[in-house]
């Protein structure tokens, strides 16, 4: 068994697609139209194109419990998911120059460095670096 797809809830697929590709640097793997104006949009890391796909899931628009959960995580300041990076400091610098808002600046906890940013689509995302 292995993980091949990870879903992240987004309230606006177009806005999310732009942020995740143009700002974060993910690349589109699949983009297929679905009913109701939605799309099956998956992204992959340019560093691991055969790795897990990230699905931009419009769940909060169609399933109220998903929206409530997403809102609760944001209110609590908890990340929805995390992305591993080679250097949290370098990504923090790169992303802040692009206007990304961080709620947690690069910090260290034991053998890990982390930072948390707002993906503009309803989620906090944590960047993690193993030291």
pLDDT, one tens digit per residue, over 45-87 is 999 999 999 999 999 988 999 999 999 999 999 999 999 999 9
pLDDT surpassing 90 at residue 37:
no
pTM of the model: 0.94
Q: Domain segments of the chain: what residues? A: 5-130
In the DSSP assignment, the letter for residue 126 is E
Phi first, then psi, for residue 107 (nearest 5°) are -140, 160
pLDDT surpassing 90 at residue 24:
yes
Q: Which residues are 65's β-sheet partners?
A: none
Looking at residues 18-39, what average pLDDT do you find?
Answer: 95
Looking at residues 29-34, what average pLDDT do you find?
Answer: 96
Indicate the class that CATH gives domain 5-130: alpha beta
pLDDT surpassing 90 at residue 127:
yes
Give the whole-angstrom CA distance, residue 88 versus residue 38: 33
User: Distance of CA 51 to CAs 7, 18, 80, Å?
Assistant: 14, 21, 19
């Amino acid at each position: 068994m292995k993980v091949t797809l990870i879903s992240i809830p987004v309230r606006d697929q177009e806005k999310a697609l732009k942020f995740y590709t143009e700002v974060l640097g993910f690349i589109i793997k699949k983009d297929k139209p679905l009913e109701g104006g939605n799309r099956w949009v998956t992204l992959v890391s340019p560093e691991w194109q055969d790795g897990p796909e990230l699905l931009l899931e419009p769940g909060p628009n169609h399933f109220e419990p998903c929206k409530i959960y997403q809102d609760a995580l944001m209110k609590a300041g908890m990340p929805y998911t995390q992305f591993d990076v080679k250097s949290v400091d370098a990504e923090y610098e790169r992303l802040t120059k692009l206007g990304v808002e961080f709620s947690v600046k690069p910090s260290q906890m034991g053998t890990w460095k982390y930072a948390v940013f707002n993906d503009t689509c309803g989620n906090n995302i944590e960047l993690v670096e193993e030291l």
